[in-house]
Amino acid sequence: MQNLEKILKYVEKPSRYTGCELNSVVKNKADVKLRFGFCFPDTYEIGMSHLGMKVLYDVLNKTDDIWCERSFMPWVDMEEKMRENGILLYGHESKDPLKEFDVLGFTLQYEMSYTNVLAMLDLADVPLLSEERDLSYPLICAGGPCAVNPEPMVDFVDFFMVGEGEEVILEACNIIKDYKQSGKTDKQELLIALSKVEGVYVPSLYEVEYNEDNTIKSRKALFGAPETVKKRVISDMDKLPHPEDIIVPYTEVVHDRVTLEIFRGCIRGCRFCQAGFIYRPVRERSPETLCEITKRSLEKTGYDEVSLCSLSTSDYTRLSELTDELISFTDEKMVNFCLPSLRVDNFDLELAKKVQEVRKTSLTFAPEAGSQRMRDVINKNVNEEDILKTSKLIFENGWNRVKLYFMIGLPYETAEDVKEISELAFKVQGEYFKIEKEKRPRGLTVTVSTSSFVPKPFTPFMWAKQDTVSEIVEKQQILRDNMKSKSITYNWHDSDLSIMEGVFARGDRRLSKVLYTAYKKGCKLDGWHEHFKYDKWLEAFKECGIDYTFYNHRERSYDEILPWEFIDVGVSKAFLMRENEKAKMAQTTPNCREKCSGCGITSLTECEELRKQGGCAK
Amino acid sequence: MMNLRVKFTKGYEVKYVSHLDLMRTFQRMLKRTGYKVKYSEGFNPHMNLTFALPLPVGVTSDGEYAEFSIDEQISCEAVKERINQVAPKGIEIIEVSEKLAPKFKEIKRAEYTVTFETKNSAEDFKKVCDLSEILIEKKTKKGIKEVDIKPLVYSCDFEKSDDKIIMKLTCAAGSEENLNPDLLVKAFEKYIDNCDISYYSIHRNQLVFPVEYEF
Ligand code: SF4
């Protein structure tokens, strides 16, 4: 146990470094056989808001001989004090250095946290490069959505877990535990054993060759490692435990409440959305189970807020049943109930009223694109009529603030499409003014936000060229010029960050070198605007002799071998190609509940939506 | 309805929890008891919970007070037991009482124990306390201001134990006049030549009511 006392006085918000929170798990070191450090490569406030971490913490700690602790990226002032005082990055529960653990697991939620992984290893005094670590160091593993293209991180991570982690993490830990107990110390032998577990990817067991034009020529699996790595899926959601006695932080975190995962997957198939493809198929928990979970969670935490969390919450088949049941006891317990976002096409006024009763704040809608043509290209099945009808409805019912989210830089987008974003904002404003003065709330604000689109692996747009900074700036300018109104506010972001995100999202293993170089140049906390150093990143690419535009500013051909192709997320390449071709013609695809489009997921697991349509589930 | 006053500790596990965070922690703890705790009326109801005095971040304590009401008719002892069952590490209810007088605003002083790891002697510290004026810069809402904290220090005694110096301090505490012992430590650092305090910790022993408060 390290003595943190002397430095905590001098840092901001010290209680995020002290552990000891309610429901954090402390075990006796001597009683456990494997110590796991769950590392979230961002700050405590962000990490502690993340449901996935709570789920795996729970799963691991329910196993008697495993002790899972948490660790986060310290903020800059804390990092400085730690370095000054020789304090190594530690597990929050024991305060022991992570270096003494058996396994450190990083969750890769967004590409721009990659340098934080390096920073955390460094602060833990663990060598960054996998090849420099023998078994006297912890094994480093990683999972999370970015693990569907793990290649840019291969130099640092010993093994990845692809897909849903609840089962595979235990299987991997058991293999490691047994191997270590046997007294053997051959890291490669252990990694080969791990590579046999479905969903595990050991990058050092593969060789990649390149063509002269820098594209991939071939991939070779060594030591009997599998040619393709299949993602893990858990088929029966009701059997899957949902954490209940979750840790209650002292200091305020981003989502400080009971979060209910009501289902996994999404029926929609919006073509820009990676989550919509990699988390297929849709699996719902029953309202009965969810209510039980909520009750017990509230009892064990004392939280005064519950929120539903899923990709498209309003698609939950028994939503009104669930919300009625939840509200029936949350109200009485003085607990708030909130929904993250509502759809415009199946907007439910009664529901909006129910959940917004306590605080009538703004309503948020995400049409994603301004023109109908573009919405068809991205398969966002929302039409202008829905948006305007819903706007009218909410204005008539007392809301005066609407937030509209859009993306710019989408494939096949023209200046005209972009302009239509502003036109839509004016039409929404128009709906408000159509209502008689006495019948509408005062002081309308329409907030329009745009983000720059980043093409991601395993989406129909994975072959697409990403817009350059200057193309994005031009599009933002169109909107700035066209959205001059007292009641409309336009928010946009610098696109430098999206450029780097795009490079690493679709990068190959040669980018590990760039990450290493950028980290050494001081890049970390890149997701935090004030710490993102675009110039350092460009320098790092230059020094490594890598042209980043190769990764994001060119269109790939269908027959190019993509860096992530050896991973099987269940959705077939043929399906993604079909979807991309339809996108080019602005043709939409029905959602999974209307009609199955044969995405291929049934090669991995059953699909309930398909079964309901009388199709063969597997 | 029971109107309750509780006396509780803030241990080292939670010493860095800020006043606002401690309020929230306390509310959640009360919610976990399952008792019907009284809420304010109105559009945005919140739990009626009052603390006697904020405790500065980084300070531990054996004598903090809070008041709230619950819709139950049970013994104070039972309430104490129930809360302690659901309390986080570092927070322990020592006493529960239905006696709400004297009021929190009657508290005028507090007793602290400050432990120094230092190369200086008790005499060095004592000399500072004996000055007729202890001027120190203090951050206020309007900016940095020099204040004399001497009138706020009621008594301080020093004692050496092993390699540590222990100060027993009684000073002003309350909504009108209040001294954060951290300021006095700053004064030591300012007034003692070659001051060498490598570490110090502050503990509040108790808040002092004008008449003895008995549970
Ligand atoms: S199999 Fe059909 S219904 Fe199931 S996820 Fe794929 S497209 Fe949707």
Confidence class for position A5, pLDDT limits 50, 70, 90 = confident
Does the CA dihedral B171-B174-B178-B180 come out positive or negative? positive
Check: CB of residue A340 under 8 Å from CB of residue A312.
Answer: no
Q: Which residue has the tokens 């071939």?
A: A218
Quote the ligand 1 centre to A462 CA distance (angstroms): 20
pLDDT at residue number A345: 65
Share the mean pLDDT of chain A: 93
pLDDT in tens, A138-153: 999 999 999 999 999 9
The shortest CB-CB distance from A14 to any of B16, B24, B89 is to: B16
Domains of chain B: 2-100 (3.30.70.580), 107-208 (3.30.70.3190)
Kindly state the average pLDDT of the residues A217-241: 92
Closest residue of B to A253, CA-based? B21
Nearest CA in chain A to B41: A334
- SS3 for chain B is CEEEEEEEEECHHHCCCCHHHHHHHHHHHHHHHCCCECECCCCCCCECCEECCCCCCCEEEEEEEEEEEECCCCCHHHHHHHHHHHCCCCEEEEEEECCCCCCHHHCCEEEEEEEEEECCCHHHHHHHHHCCCCEEEEEECCEEEEEECHHHEEEEEEEEECCEEEEEEEEECCCCCCCCHHHHHHHHHHHCCCCCEEEEEEEEEEEECCCCCCC
pLDDT in tens, A482-521: 999 999 999 998 889 999 999 999 999 999 999 999 999 9
B16 to chain A: closest CA residue: A15
Q: What is the DSSP letter of A557?
A: P
Nearest to B51 by CA among B23, B79, B76: B23
B17 → chain A, closest CA residue: A15
Chain-chain contact of B21 with A15 (C-beta, under 8 angstroms): yes
Indicate the pairing of strand A263-264 with strand A283-284.
antiparallel
Ligand 1, residues A601, A602, A603, A616: which to mutate, most atoms within 8 A of Cβ? A601
The whole-number pLDDT of residue B44 equals 77
Exposed/middle/buried for A286, CB within 10 Å: 0-12, 13-18, 19+?
middle
Ligand 1 neighbour A518 (Cβ under 6 A): no
How do residues B180-212 score in pLDDT, each as one tens digit?
999 999 999 999 999 999 889 999 999 998 877
Average the pLDDT over A185-209 and give the result: 97
Does the distance separating the beta carbons of B44 and A251 come in below 8 Å? Answer: no
pLDDT in tens, B144-154: 889 999 999 99
Cα dihedral sign, A455-A456-A460-A462: positive
| Mean pLDDT of all residues belonging to chain B | 93
The pair phi, psi for residue A21, each rounded to 5°, is -70, 160
Q: Considering only alpha carbons, which residue of chain B is nearest residue A93?
A: B13
Residue nearest ligand 1's atom 6 by CA: A599
C-alpha span between A536 and A373 (Å, rounded)? 39
State the maximum Cα–Cα separation within chain A, in Å, rounded to a whole number.
Answer: 80
CA–CA gap between residue A196 and residue A193 (Å, rounded)? 6
Mutation site, A6, A258, A334, A356, interface B, largest B CB count within 10 A: A334
A270, A280, A315, best to mutate for ligand 1 pocket (most atoms within 8 Å of CB): A280
Q: Are B21 and A251 within 8 A, CB to CB?
A: yes
Residue A317 has pLDDT above 60, yes or no: yes
Report the separation in Å between the CA atom of A325 and the middle of ligand 1, taken as the mean of its atom positions: 30
Note whether A302 contacts B57, CB cutoff 8 Å.
no
Q: Which residues of A touch B58 (CB under 8 A)?
A: 8-9, 14
What is the reported pTM?
Answer: 0.94
Q: Which residues touch B140 (CB under 8 Å, ≥6 apart)? A: none
- Give the atom of ligand 1 at the shortest distance from the alpha carbon of A602: 1
Residue A84, number of CB atoms within 10 A of its CB: 10
| Chain A contact probe: residue of B31, B59, B180 with most A CBs at under 10 A | B31
How far is B17 from chain A, CA to nearest CA, in Å? 6
Least confident of A106-115, A205-214, A282-291, B135-144: B135-144
pLDDT higher than threshold 50 for residue A358:
no
Query: Which atom number of ligand 1 is nearest to the Cα of residue A591?
Result: 8
User: Which residues in chain A have Cβ-Cβ distances shorter than 8 Å to B11?
Assistant: none
Alpha-carbon span A303 to A250, nearest angstrom = 12
Closest CA to A21 of A267, A275, A253: A253
Long-range contacts of A571-577 (CB under 8 A, 24+ apart): A571/A277, A571/A278, A571/A280, A571/A458, A571/A599, A571/A600, A571/A601, A572/A599, A572/A600, A572/A603, A574/A600, A575/A599, A575/A600, A576/A277, A576/A458, A576/A459, A576/A460, A576/A462, A577/A460
Option in B32, B90, B199 nearest A299 (CB): B32
Report the range of poorest mean pLDDT among A331-340, A366-375, A523-532, B134-143: A331-340
Residue A281 CA: which ligand 1 atom is closest? 5
- CA–CA separation, A369 vs A405, rounded Å? 8
* Amino acid in position A301: T
- Min CA distance, B171 vs chain A (Å)? 22
Residue nearest ligand 1's atom 8 by CA? A592
How far does the CA of residue B32 sit from the closest CA of chain A (Å)? 5
What one-character-per-residue DSSP string does A158-211 give?
SEEE-B-HHHHHHHHHHHHHHHHHTT---HHHHHHHHHTSTTEE-GGGEEEEE-
Kindly give the distance from the C-alpha atom of residue A375 to the centroid of ligand 1, in angstroms, as a whole number.
21
How far is Cα B137 from Cα A93, in angstroms, rounded to an integer? 38
Helix (H, G, I), strand (E, B) or coil at A572: coil
Q: Give the residue, out of A589, A596, A611, with the most ligand 1 atoms within 8 A of its beta carbon, to mutate for a pocket test.
A: A596
pLDDT of A357 strictly over 50: no
Instruction: Provide, as residue numbers in chain B, all residues whose Cβ is less than 8 Å from the Cβ of A246.
Output: none
Q: Count of A–B CB contacts within 8 Å?
A: 63
The answer to whether the CB atoms of B88 and A304 lie below 8 A apart is no
- Cα of A326 vs centre of ligand 1, distance in Å, is 30
CB A569 less than 6 A from any atom of ligand 1? no
| Domains of chain A, earliest start first | 4-211 (3.40.50.2300)
A280 CB within 6 A, ligand 1 = yes
- Residue of A21, A250, A297 to mutate for B, most B C-beta atoms under 10 A: A250
Q: CB distance B14–A358 less than 8 Å?
A: no
- What residue type is B17 in one-letter code? V
**Which residues, 6+ apart, have CB-to-CB distance to B16 below 8 Å?**
A8, A14, A15, A18, B57, B58
For residue B42, give the chain A residue with the closest CA: A358
Q: Is A410 in the pocket of ligand 1 (CB under 6 A)?
A: no
DSSP, collapsed to helix, strand or coil, labels residue A143 as strand
Q: Does ligand 1 come within 6 angstroms of the Cβ of A247? A: no
pLDDT of residue B61: 97
Ligand 1 atom having least distance to the Cα of A575: 7
Q: Kindly report the nearest CA distance between residue B211 and chain A, in angstroms.
A: 34
Residue A336 confidence (pLDDT): 84
Please indicate whether residue A517 or residue A337 has the higher confidence score (pLDDT).
Answer: A517
Short-list A285, A295, A286, CA closest to A245: A295
- The band of B140, judged by pLDDT with boundaries at 50, 70 and 90, is confident
Do A15 and B16 make contact, defined as CB atoms within 8 angstroms?
Answer: yes
State the pLDDT at residue A615: 72
Chain A CA closest to residue B59: A9
Sequence letter at residue A360: K
Chain A residues at the B interface, defined by Cβ less than 8 Å, are 5-6, 8-9, 13-15, 18, 20-22, 248, 250-252, 298-304, 333-334, 358-359
Q: What is the pLDDT of residue A340?
A: 67
Chain-chain contact of A18 with B32 (C-beta, under 8 angstroms): no
Q: Which residue of A572, A602, A604 sits with most ligand 1 atoms within 8 Å of its CB, as the best mutation to test the pocket?
A: A602
Distance of CA A347 to the CA centre of its chain: 25
Tokens for B49?
Answer: 């919970």
What is the spatial distance between Cα A102 and Cα A178, in angstroms, rounded to a whole number?
A: 12
Decide if A21 and B88 are in contact by the 8 Å CB cutoff: yes
Higher pLDDT pick, A440 / A297:
A297
pLDDT digits (tens, 9 = 90+) for A87-142: 999 999 999 999 999 999 999 999 999 999 999 999 999 999 999 999 999 999 99
